[in-house]
Structure formats: C-alpha cells, structure tokens
Amino acid sequence: MRRFLPSLLAVAIVATLSVFQRELLLDIFQRLQGIHPLEIVPLALAGMGMIVTRGFFLRSCSPGISLRQSITADQSALAAGYGIALGGGAVGTGLRIHMFTRWNMPSQVIAASIVATAVVPSFTTWGLPIFVLAPKAVTASLDNVQLLAVSFGIFIIAISIVFWWFALMRPSLFTVVGRIGLRLQRLFLRRVPVRFWRSRKVVEKTQPDYFTNELRLSLRTLLRTRGHLILLSSMSTLLAGFTCLAVSAHVFGAEGLTMYEALVAFSLVRVLIALSPIPGAAGIAELGLIALLERAGVSLLDATGTTLLYRFLTWFVPIVVGTSLWWRYSHKRQETSHGQVHNNNQQLEDTRGSIPLHG
C-alpha cells in the first residue's frame, strides 16, 4: 500500500479538485483540449532536455560510463524514488549501485558517485534562491517566505562548505566512520549464526577502514579532475527544470507571469521539494507551486493548469521512462548467454579489472 502513496496523493488532489473545484478542473480540461498538437513538441523537448541533463550530471560524477548508461541508471532510480513512498530513495540507490556493479565500476568509484550526486544538488538547490532573490535583498523588498529561504540557504551552504572542506582535507572524519564500520562488522559476525555463511563471507571481505580512506581520496580526485564539469552539469539540470516550467506556462497560456517571477517560484518550490519527506513531494509540490504562482499574479486557473503540466513533465514522465528503461535493462541482462553479463561499454573496461580513479 505504501508503495502507491505518491500516486494516491496525486489522485486525492485530483479528486479534491473534482469535488470542490469542479468548474476549475473543467476549465483546465477545456484549455488543454484547445492546445494545438504542435505545441506538444516544445513540451516533449523540455521533458527530453530534463532527462538528458540529469543523465549528463550523473555521468560527470561517475567516471567510466556512457551517457546512455547514466540516463538508464538515473531514470530507473528516479522512477523507484517517485513510485515508492517509503524507502524509495534507498531502492533507487540500490538500483544504481546494481547497474554500476554490472558495468564493472570499482566500489570506490561507485561510492564517490553516490556521495557526489547526493551532495552537489543541495548546493544548487539552496544557492538558486539566494542568487535569484539577491536583487530583492538589496532593495529590502523580500517577503517573509523569501527572507526565510535566503537566510536558511546561506546557513545551509556555509555549514556544508565548512563540513566538507574539513572532511576531505583531513582524514579524521572518514577514519571515525571507518572505525564505526569495523565495530558494526564485528557485531554482525558475532550475532549472525554460522549457517548464514554466505552473508558472513561477504561481510568478512569488507574493509571499512580501508574503504572509507579510499573513498575520501576518490572524492578529492573526482572534485579536482571533474569539479567544474560536475558544477556545470548540476546547473544545467536547474536550467532544464526551469525550462519545463516556462514551457508549461506558455503552452497552457498563463497570463501575467514574468520570467523573473517564474524563476522565483521555481527556486522556492525546489526548496519545498527538498524539504518534503514524500518522494517527489507529491501533493506538496503541486499545492506549493500553485500558491507561489498565484502570489506572482497568475490566476488560479492558469496557476493550476501550469502546475499540472509542469509536474507531468517532472514527476509522471520520469516514472514512465524510468520503468521502461529498467525493464529494457533487465530484459537485455536476462538474454545474456550462459548466465554471463557483458559490459555495455566495452571500450571503458580496464584490463586489470577496474577503472582507476586516483593514484
């Protein structure tokens, strides 16, 4: 039941609109029917741009995979994260690790990619409203919501920079994490019966202290060699997301929305999505964006219609695309002969069985 919670929330919103805002929903449906078929093209291009830029970001954080592989891994993980209410993020991360392992990526590279793709977007998410609202901050025209977003964003970014600088420059933090891993390993081996020999064998092979030290070195090397590319690709996902919102407003015919106010609404709703405990912020993001667009001077009809189109591109489409790509990946893997799994990108294989990232 909990796996379908985001979908149930979306259905609940539609049902609520159907009961209490029937005329509004009918007007939106009529407006959507009046959209010219050619206007679907920019919507499709905007959605495709979002998929490609997200794949480009994952590829920049993951040395040794192609853009096609990164899109497959990203969209499959995104579909799991959006489709499963509780634990969807963990399932999506597991799918990504599974694919990376099948593509012969070393464990340190996989771990560095997981950390980078989780940390870097937080800087751009909180940095965007600071950048967008800077003109209003200078003229002291920020409202309470905008002031809170800017203040909290500055605090989060400052703390994150200090934390990660010390973590990467000094081995103490990762050493502590490694020691905790060793204690958990010993506790596991003491508590788990011998009959579970396969699980014990896997745990015995792990070296938490060595792994965490290698992870720190891998992260430093990744930032040194690809830091500019990672930042650029992360910013490109912001541009693609805003393009989806702008195209949705244009296609639906929203009136009274300037590009700047649309950018303000986009930056604030991203913060709202980041704070939401629900995968994809289903329900919260829709109501929040409608309210933000209305505050920007857009009518309730235009705000709701624009939001539905925007969330269709950024929430529903990834579920469909990710599910399809995961099915295609699983189907191709099952077709491998004699149970052998082949690398999809043979030219990236290292003759020693790994892809060195540092040293």
| Beta carbons of 50 and 240 less than 8 angstroms apart | yes
- Secondary structure of residue 268 in the 3-state scheme: helix
Q: What is the pLDDT of residue 262?
A: 92
Please state at what angle helix 5-20 crosses helix 284-295, rounded to 10 degrees. 50
Handedness of CA 2, 238, 268, 20 (dihedral sign): negative
Q: What is the pLDDT of residue 209?
A: 74
Q: What is the pLDDT of residue 274?
A: 77
| Beta carbons of 17 and 194 less than 8 angstroms apart | no
Burial class (CB in 10 A: 0-12, 13-18, 19+), 240: buried
Q: What is the pLDDT of residue 353?
A: 39
What does each of the 359 residues of the chain score in pLDDT, given as a tens digit? 444 455 555 555 556 555 556 677 777 788 888 788 888 899 999 999 999 999 999 999 999 899 999 999 999 999 988 877 666 678 888 899 989 989 988 888 999 999 999 999 989 989 999 999 988 888 888 888 888 889 989 999 999 999 999 989 888 888 888 888 778 878 877 777 777 777 777 667 777 777 788 888 899 999 999 999 999 999 999 999 999 999 999 999 888 888 999 999 999 988 887 776 666 566 677 888 888 899 888 888 899 989 999 989 988 899 999 999 999 988 877 665 445 544 444 433 443 334 344 43
Q: What is the pLDDT of residue 19?
A: 56
